[in-house]
Amino acid sequence: MSRVIELTDQELTEVLQLINQLYGYDFTGYASASMHRRVYRFMHASGLNTYDDLRYNLSEQKATFEHFLEFISVNVTEMFRDPEFFKTIKEEVFPRLATYPLIRIWHAGCATGEEVFSMAILLKEAGLLERTRIYATDINPVNIEKAKKGIMTLQVIKDYTANYIKSGGSKDFSGYYTALYNNALISKELRENILFSQHNLVTDQVFNEFQLVCCRNVMIYFNKGLQNKVLHLLHDSLAPLGYLALGPKESLLFTDIADRFEVISPAFKIFRRNQ
Amino acid sequence: MAKAFDIIIIGGSAGSVQVISQIIHELPAVLPVPVVIVLHRLKNVASEMSKILSAQTNKVIVEPDDKDPIKNSFIYLAPQNYHLLIESDFTFSLDYSEVVQYSRPSIDVTFESAAKVYGKKAFAVLLSGGNKDGTNGIGAVIVRGGKAIVQHPDSALYPAMPSAAIASNKGIPTLYPEQIIEYLNKNLNPSR
Ligand SMILES: C[S@@+](CC[C@H](N)C(=O)[O-])C[C@H]1O[C@@H](n2cnc3c(N)ncnc32)[C@H](O)[C@@H]1O
C-alpha cells in the first residue's frame, strides 16, 4: 500500500504557484480533479510521500520538475482516434481547404504526433499535402522530440490500421511506414511538411493564421476560465471562415465567444469561425 | 427529508449491460439524484451504447461533455475512451490518460473521484465483469463513509469483478439484481 498523503486543494494550489514562480510553467488554471490524480501518481512514482517532500524536491532539483512535467502533460494519443472524426474532416472540411493555394493547419497539443501523422495521410490521399504546411505544437519538449523522430512501436500499428480503415481509408496502411525491428518509422514524405515545436497554450501567443486548427483532448485538462481564455487564442489564430476541431466531448458553447463560430459537426465538435 | 445519498455510481463490465438496463428500467421515472454509469466497452466505434440503454430502459441516458454540470434526475454514461472525473463544483471532467486496470473509462477512477466529492453521500454499485476494476474504487467509497454494494457473484455472468471487490472489502453487502433494485427504490423514496 502506498503511504502517499494526498494534497488538499490548498496545497495543490500552492505547489502549482511554486512551480510557476520557479520554472515559468503555469498550471494553476488546470482542472483540479485530474491534476490531483496526476500529482498523486507523480508523488507515488517518485517516492515523495508528503506535501513537504514534494515542495522541497521541486525547489531543490530541476530534474524533479522535469519528471513532474512528464507526469502532468498526459501524452496519451493514438492514430485516427475517433475514426469518424477524420472521416468528417475529409468530407466536410477538405473540400473547403482545397480552395486555398496554400493551406496552413495547426495541431495544438499534438503529444507525440500520432494525430498529426493521421492528418498528413488524409491530406496526401486528397492530393493536398504538398501545398499544406502543418504546425504541430505541445507544451512538453520531450513529446516534440519524439514526434520529430516519427517512430512508434509496431505493436500499436494493428490498432491504428483498424482505425484508419474505420475512418474510410482504403489504401494499404503499411505503405505509410517502414518497419524496423520492433518499430514503425512514419514515411519521410508524410513528415516533410510538418513543423514540430514547443508552444504553451496558456502563456504563448498567436504565431500564425490557419485555415484549420485542431486542439483535441487538451482543454479537458483546463478549468472553465482557462478554457475560455485559450479559446480566444484559438479563435484569433484562425483565418476568417477557418475551421476549429475540438475533441468529441469538448464544447465551446458555454464560452463567451460561442457566437463567433458556426457549428459544422455537433457530434465531432467541428466549428467554423465567422467572417 | 434528507436524502440517504446524493449520487448513485454504477460500474460494470462483461455481462453487466442486461443488469444495468434492468436496474435503470425499474428506478423511479423522476430521480432525486444523478446516476453515473461506468461501463467498459469498445473504443473507437461510433458509440451507440447510450442509445441502446435509453431504448431498453425508457429513460434518457446521456454521455456528458467535459465540464457539464451534474444534475439530479439525469442518468449519465461515461464516454468511450475517456476516464470520467468529478470536480468539487459538481461538474464532470474528462481525462484521456493511461488505462487503469486495462480500462478507460475505468470504474476505479470514477468511483475514487465521486468518493472524494460526495463522501458519505455516495452510493456505489459494482456489477458483473471479468477483471478487477472497481475494487479500489469501492474501497475509496467505503473509506470516505459512503455506501457500496456488489452484485452477488452467483448471479453475475462474469463473477471476477464482484468477487475481487468482496475479497478486498470485507463485509460488503452482496445482492442479487432484484434486491439491488429493491434497495435503491427504498432509499430513493423515503416515504416508503
Ligand atoms: C491527451 S493529449 C492529446 C493528444 C492529441 N491531440 C489527441 O487527441 O490524441 C494532451 C496533450 O496536451 C498537451 N498539453 C497540456 N497542456 C498544454 C498546454 N498548456 N499547451 C500546449 N499543450 C499542452 C500535453 O502535453 C499532451 O501532449
What does the pLDDT read at residue A121? 98
Contact B60, B35 (CB under 8 A): no
Q: Which residues of A touch B86 (CB under 8 A)?
A: 33
Please report, rounded to a whole number, the percentage of residues in chain A having pLDDT higher than 90. Answer: 93
Nearest CA residue ID for atom 15, ligand 1? A73
Chain B residues in contact with chain A using a Cβ-Cβ cutoff of 8 Å: 44-46, 63-68, 79, 81-82, 85-88, 93-98, 109, 113, 116
Distances (CA, A) of A209 to A139, A159, A239: 20, 34, 6
* Cβ separation A34–B97 shorter than 8 A: yes
Check if B25 is active-site: no
End-to-end CA distance of chain A: 57
- Least CA distance to B109: which residue of chain A? A37
Q: What's the DSSP call for residue B177?
A: H
- Chain segment A164-187, per-residue pLDDT in tens: 999 999 999 999 999 999 999 999
3-state helix, strand, coil in chain A (%, to 5): 45, 20, 35
ipTM higher than threshold 0.90: yes
What does the pLDDT read at residue A152? 95
- Chain segment A35-89, per-residue pLDDT in tens: 999 999 999 999 999 999 999 999 999 999 999 999 888 889 999 999 999 999 9
Q: Closest to A34 (Cβ–Cβ): which among B64, B79, B85?
A: B85
Distances (CA, A) of B170 to A18, A28, B165, B174: 42, 40, 9, 11
Residue with cell string 490524480: A37
Work out the mean pLDDT of chain A and round it to a whole number: 96
Alpha carbon A31 to its chain centroid, in Å, reads 16
**What's the CA angle centered on A226, arms A67 and A119, to 5 degrees?**
70
Check if B13 is active-site: yes
Nearest CA residue ID for atom 25, ligand 1? A73
Mean pLDDT of all residues in A128-144: 97
Cα–Cα distance, B106 to B152 (Å, whole number): 21
- Least CA distance to A33: which residue of chain B? B87
Active-site hit among B6, B16, B21, B40: B40
Q: Which residues of B touch A166 (CB under 8 A)?
A: 44-45
CB of A158 within 8 Å of a chain B CB? The answer is: no
In the chain, the amino acid numbered B30 is V
Contact B132, B105 (CB under 8 A): no
- Chain segment A203-224, per-residue pLDDT in tens: 999 999 999 999 999 999 999 9
- Chain segment B84-132, per-residue pLDDT in tens: 999 999 999 999 999 999 999 999 999 999 999 999 999 999 999 999 9
Contact B79, B64 (CB under 8 A): yes
Q: Please, what sign has the CA dihedral across residues A177, A179, A184, A189?
A: negative
Atom from ligand 1 closest to the CA of residue A77 = 9
Q: Would the pTM of this model clear 0.80, i.e. be above it?
A: yes
Q: Where do the domains of chain B lie, and which CATH numbers do they carry?
A: 10-188 (3.40.50.180)
For chain A positions 58-77, those within 8 Å of chain B (CB to CB) are 74, 76
Active-site hit among B13, B16, B21, B106: B13
> Higher confidence at residue B17 or residue B2?
B17
* Cβ separation B45–A166 shorter than 8 A: yes
B192 pLDDT higher than 50 = no
- Chain segment B28-87, per-residue pLDDT in tens: 989 999 999 999 987 777 678 888 889 888 899 999 999 999 999 999 999 999 999 999
* Cβ separation A84–B86 shorter than 8 A: no
Burial (CB count <10 Å: 0-12, 13-18, 19+), residue B176? middle
Nearest by Cα to A73 from B102, B98, B88: B98
Atom from ligand 1 closest to the CA of residue A203 = 19
What does the pLDDT read at residue B78? 97
Nearest by Cα to B67 from A214, A268, A254, A261: A254
